[in-house]
């Protein structure tokens, strides 16, 4: 049975979806003051109708957030325990939502305006593109993609569906006190020319060998695997632990990298198409199992890199090191000073010597928010549905960060330098490295080309 929803036509525009179309946004846009809950004071029948696909730990948290802005009528998870728990949750399904094990049941519903996708990484792009084809607005957790090819596929899909808002769950883009302040200082030149950036993303997890066991009766293991190769079930290969297997994720490179590499590339203006590193050196990377030709030689243990310092050279002369060593956060080193920012602090020369006093205005913050007022992540998502415009965490900039994250993973798997052409978005001069650009999906789980 094919999972391709390419032939599903977009539903007719409902009263609820009317708020999300570009023409309607211009005619009926509602301005929500900072701190107000989008849609909170509108009639119940005008609140967005939401379906949540993936309601494990992170999916539950996201669903609680969506519940503030709309009505959740469907929850979906390949583990029925998750789906039933979300259905019964008073802040999600309220005992009334329909529970599904197949995400296509959510996309087929004409009454659903918004889908929240919080599945393992290797499922994100397929579901997201099919959701766009079905006429839905999309909130998808990071990291959005598994491969470089998926970056291009999802970006193309967003180009073809401009009336739908597509939002990535990179919450650091809403942190004005630390990350946005740091980006403003870099972009205003307070640090001078940026020479080096150190992106600390912690080490990966080591574990195994894990025995083969029967999957839980509540889990559809084949559906969980999706496009990934068919393998026997080992308990730490599923749910949260999927991120330590290259078959389903990029390890720390795409886990924390999706956050911190994003901040670094945004700050130096490499978040635009055609920009990015040209040389990525993965020589200094270790893996918890033996590798040959970029692939693990055993399948019973975590295999993503746990100890690494990957060096990326940008055409501007900036060097970026993505590393498991040192503090978690982003360190910028410029000709005038240094600045470190993390989720817990911001420190460095501009702050210690008060260089940044009066340098971060309301206009600066609005510019980083693409003209919208600064507010929480999901509030910005629902504002964009009502008003139009790109959200603060958009597909186009996220793809640029994910290019770097995936290139770091590929160079590390091969243990050597690779080269990247940001203009053509191709790995050059290395056929073996270029073979990691895409992965052939398992039959029946192909990703639509739009």
Q: Which residues of 197-221 are buried (b: 16+ CB within 10 A; e: fewer)?
A: bbbbbbebbbebebeeeebeeebeb
- Among 113, 402, 185, residue whose Cα is nearest residue 276: 402
Tell me which CATH homologous superfamily contains domain 174-437: Dihydrodipicolinate Reductase; domain 2 (3.30.360.10)
Structure confidence by residue, pLDDT tens digits, 325-383: 999 999 999 999 999 999 999 999 999 999 888 999 999 999 999 999 999 999 999 99
Helix/strand/coil percentages in the chain, nearest 5? 35, 15, 50
Judge whether 213 and 234 are in contact, CB under 8 Å. yes
Cα–Cα distances in Å, from 68 out to 62, 71, 114? 10, 8, 13
Cα–Cα distances in Å, from 255 out to 30, 38, 88, 228, 351? 35, 29, 30, 18, 29
Tell me what the pLDDT averaged over the chain comes to. 91
Structure tokens at 287: 């893996």
Q: For the whole model, what pTM was predicted?
A: 0.91
pLDDT computed for residue 44 by the predictor: 54
Q: Which residues of 24-50 are buried (b: 16+ CB within 10 A; e: fewer)?
A: bbeeeeeebeeeeebbeeeeeeebbbb
pLDDT computed for residue 219 by the predictor: 98
DSSP strand E in 226-268: where? none
Q: Tell me if residue 141 falls in helix, strand or coil.
A: coil
C-alpha–C-alpha distance, residues 251 and 136, integer Å:
29
- Return residue ranges of the chain for CATH 3.30.360.10: 174-437
Q: Tell me if residue 9 falls in helix, strand or coil.
A: coil
pLDDT computed for residue 46 by the predictor: 76
Q: Tell me if residue 347 falls in helix, strand or coil.
A: strand
The CATH topology of domain 15-169 is Rossmann fold (3.40.50)
- Return residue ranges of the chain for CATH 3.40.50.720: 15-169
The residue ranges of the chain whose pLDDT is under 70 are 1-45
Q: What 8-state DSSP symbol labels residue 100?
A: E
pLDDT computed for residue 36 by the predictor: 40
């Amino acid at each position: 049975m094919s999972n391709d929803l390419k032939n599903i036509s977009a539903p007719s525009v409902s009263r609820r979806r009317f708020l999300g179309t570009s023409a309607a946004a211009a005619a009926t846009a509602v301005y929500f003051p900072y701190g107000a809950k989008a849609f909170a004071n509108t009639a119940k029948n005008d609140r967005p109708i939401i379906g949540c696909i993936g309601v494990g730990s992170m999916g539950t948290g996201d669903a609680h957030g969506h519940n503030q802005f709309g009505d959740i009528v469907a929850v979906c998870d390949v583990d029925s325990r998750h789906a039933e728990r979300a259905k019964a949750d008073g802040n999600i399904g309220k005992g009334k939502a329909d529970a599904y094990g197949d995400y296509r049941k959510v996309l087929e519903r004409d009454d659903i305006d918004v889908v929240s996708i919080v599945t393992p990484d290797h499922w994100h792009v397929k579901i997201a593109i099919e959701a766009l084809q079905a006429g839905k607005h999309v909130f998808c957790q990071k990291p959005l993609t598994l491969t470089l090819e998926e970056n291009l596929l999802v970006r193309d899909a967003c180009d073809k569906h401009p009336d739908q808002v597509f939002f990535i769950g990179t919450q650091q883009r809403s942190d004005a006190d630390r990350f946005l302040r740091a980006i403003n200082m870099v972009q205003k030149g307070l640090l001078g020319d940026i020479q080096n950036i150190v992106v600390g993303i912690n080490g990966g997890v080591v574990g195994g060998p894990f025995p083969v066991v029967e999957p839980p009766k509540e889990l559809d293991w084949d559906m969980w695997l999706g496009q990934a190769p068919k393998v026997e079930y080992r308990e730490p290969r599923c749910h949260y632990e999927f991120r330590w297997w290259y078959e389903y994720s990029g390890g720390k490179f795409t886990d924390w990298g999706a956050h911190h590499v994003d901040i670094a590339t945004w700050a130096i203006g490499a978040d635009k198409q055609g920009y990015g590193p040209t040389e990525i050196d993965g020589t200094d990377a270790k893996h918890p199992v033996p590798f040959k030709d970029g692939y693990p030689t055993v399948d019973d243990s975590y295999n993503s890199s746990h100890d690494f310092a990957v060096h990326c050279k940008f055409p501007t002369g900036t060097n970026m090191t993505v590393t498991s060593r040192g503090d978690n956060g982003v360190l910028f080193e410029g000709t005038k000073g240094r600045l470190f920012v993390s989720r817990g602090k911001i420190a460095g020369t501009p702050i210690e010597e008060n260089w940044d006093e009066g340098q971060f205005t309301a206009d600066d913050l609005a510019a980083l928010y693409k003209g919208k007022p600064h507010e929480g992540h999901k509030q910005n998502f629902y504002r964009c549905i009502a008003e139009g415009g790109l959200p603060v965490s958009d597909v186009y900039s996220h793809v640029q960060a994910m290019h770097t994250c995936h290139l770091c993973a590929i160079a590390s798997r091969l243990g050597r330098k690779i080269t990247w052409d940001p203009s053509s978005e191709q790995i050059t001069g290395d056929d073996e490295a270029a073979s990691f650009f895409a992965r052939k999906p398992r039959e029946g789980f192909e990703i639509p080309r739009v």
